[in-house]
Amino acid sequence: MKFFKGLSLFMISNNLMSSYAVCLGLYESCKDDCDCCGHPTNQAIRCEMRHQSLGKLCYEGRSTSGPCSNNFQCLSQNCVDGVCLPPLKRPTTPVNYCPLGNSDDVVTAVSGKLPKCACDKTATESLSYAMDGDLSTDYTNFHSKDYSGLIFEPSLKAPIRSMEICTSNQDAENDPLCYRVEGWCEDDSSYALVQHGLLPLPTARQQCKRIVIGGRQSYSRYRVQLGCRRGGYVLTCPSNPTEPTSPSNPTEPTSPSNPSEPTNLSIPTELTNQGPSCDPSKASCPSVIPKGKDETCTPLHDGDGTNAFSEFMPHSIDYDDVKDVTVHTYSFLNKIGKGGNFPDLSHAVLQYVGACCVSQVRVYAIEDGKENVYYTSDSPGDHLESPKPTVCMSGIDLPGVEGAQTYYYEITVNGYFPTTATVDYVLKGGLLVKYSKVQGIDCKCTHRRSLISKRLFRGLPLDLESRKRRAQVCDDKPVSVSEVKFYGKCNEG
């Protein structure tokens, strides 16, 4: 389902009109790719340095086998019979790669939202650590929900060739697992997408992962955003037990006469549960049958899309006690590469456990720090009780999206169902289908653990009259890395 194609074309046409009004022609002096006429619609047009004496000019940079009429149109500088061929002479020694910048080039932090239950604090006080070349220091952003990161202006003006992200010294749950790199365009005061995708960081600490950035793209300022926190975000805020003391002597609690015998406790009803219990009547909708792919069904399209789509990533779980609904949100990076092998998502099916009653499906993206909603369905009929023919799977039917960016799929179910279980899902685009698994919604009722099972200090009597109610404490869920590095060829700046 492509439900906002007209909007996309309108936005593209407006951008082109803005760009052509002030753009630079071929072989004119430039600073950024977006200064040159035709960019970004024509990715072969770029601002680069081919001769030190001329500085950076607008060139065409067509790849090998692309059409051409002269050498200047080819990245290889070798146009033969109307086709770009490999260069005539290859350098005897490879050109070295140099860092594009360091901590002095960092302009500002990029912050997302403060997660639920997180401590109320500034987003970061460690921005310079992001590019200080020291793996023992961490850049941490506490406003980590959705995307957080930094903006930097590289001192070496070479096209960006690769990016390296290194894990922090903190818990692996604080690792980002996806990224987005954008370049600043002065003509329309906006950021253009350079590249985005998954970030397969290891769980080991102070380890780096290098990502190749395609297209030899060049900008004077970059915005780097990191998201998809490995540990996700919590639903229930933690609580801090106030340990009881004897009313006769608060500083020296008395021991029971026989420590080996447990003290008989009478726990008030309001303390027996930490949160609301689920109501089975809220999950009275049809359950998913069968689980996984229906092997008795032949999908209409079954091309292997394993490497053509990113994963569905658990993003957050929130409970609205006023509406009595639980919201499970997933993030999805659409169009992770260019060309027909990386299609737009046309639709998806997500399974679940139990009999979830879906009350709403909403799809949005974060643009300029605000939610831009692309799809909303308020009808509770998003269940596919029989397998969808295109993918041979039943479950929650989800719409497709268009364009290279991160989309958030927000699924609202009736009742209190914050737990998850491993479930199947499928993604379809073009003739390709990808089957995978994710932590999905579990609509089976499980009561929360009673306070009576909580550990108490041995030998201390529980004075229920003087015991304070368990107070909520904040719990930070930041995104943290030890290094963000960008590289370009030393001779291209």
Q: Which two tokens stand for residue 306?
A: 């394993």
- Name residue, tokens 């915005």: 223
pLDDT for residue 441: 94
Question: Between the CA of residue 270 and those of 56, 240, 266, 452, what are the distances in Å?
Answer: 71, 17, 12, 12
Integer Cα distance of 60 and 70 in angstroms: 10
Integer Cα distance of 64 and 283 in angstroms: 58
pLDDT for residue 488: 92
Going by their DSSP bridges, the two strands 471-472 and 370-377 should be labelled as unpaired
Contact 188, 135 (CB under 8 A): no
The pLDDT-based confidence of 440 (bands split at 50, 70, 90) is very high
pTM of the model: 0.69
The pLDDT-based confidence of 435 (bands split at 50, 70, 90) is very high
Contact 386, 395 (CB under 8 A): no
pLDDT of 166 above 70: yes
State pLDDT tens for residues 104-116: 999 999 999 999 8
- Ranges for all domains in the chain classified under CATH 2.60.40: 280-441
Contact 349, 398 (CB under 8 A): yes
320 or 164, greater pLDDT: 164
205 or 192, greater pLDDT: 205
CATH code for the domain defined by 97-234+478-492: 2.60.120.260
The pLDDT-based confidence of 80 (bands split at 50, 70, 90) is very high
SS3 label, residue 404: coil
- Name residue, tokens 């922090």: 168
pLDDT for residue 240: 59
Q: Mean of the pLDDT values across residues 389-396?
A: 91
State pLDDT tens for residues 117-165: 888 899 999 999 999 999 999 999 999 988 999 999 999 988 999 999 9
Q: Which residues of 350-361 are buried (b: 16+ CB within 10 A; e: fewer)?
A: bbbbbbbbbbbb
**Using CA of residue 354, residue 357, residue 361, residue 366, what is the dihedral sign?**
negative
Contact 399, 375 (CB under 8 A): yes
Q: Which two tokens stand for residue 426?
A: 């499928």
131 or 93, greater pLDDT: 131
Integer Cα distance of 317 and 233 in angstroms: 7
pLDDT for residue 446: 66
Of 329, 402, 406, which is closest to residue 149 (Cα–Cα)?
Answer: 406
Contact 272, 451 (CB under 8 A): yes
Integer Cα distance of 266 and 348 in angstroms: 51
Percent of the chain with pLDDT over 90: 43
Give the amino acid at 328. H
> Phi, psi (5° rounding) for residue 294?
-80, 110
Integer Cα distance of 144 and 111 in angstroms: 7
Q: Which two tokens stand for residue 184?
A: 């600043």
pLDDT for residue 382: 58
393 or 262, greater pLDDT: 393
Q: Please, what is the average pLDDT of the chain?
A: 80
Give the amino acid at 145. K
pLDDT of 400 above 60: yes
pLDDT for residue 91: 60
State pLDDT tens for residues 243-295: 443 333 333 333 333 333 333 333 333 333 445 678 888 888 878 888 889 88
**Using CA of residue 354, residue 359, residue 363, residue 364, what is the dihedral sign?**
negative
Percent of the chain with pLDDT over 70: 80
pLDDT for residue 367: 83
Integer Cα distance of 489 and 493 in angstroms: 7
Can you say how many angstroms the Cα of residue 203 is from the centroid of all Cα atoms in its chain? Answer: 17
Integer Cα distance of 226 and 112 in angstroms: 10
Contact 141, 198 (CB under 8 A): no
> Phi, psi (5° rounding) for residue 8?
-65, -45
pLDDT of 75 above 90: no
Q: Does domain 280-441 have CATH number 2.60.40?
A: yes
Q: Which residues of 224-233 are buried (b: 16+ CB within 10 A; e: fewer)?
A: bbbbbbbebb
**Sheet of strand 325-333: strand arrangement:** 312-320, 325-333, 406-414, 358-367, 370-377
- Ranges for all domains in the chain classified under CATH 2.60.120.260: 97-234+478-492
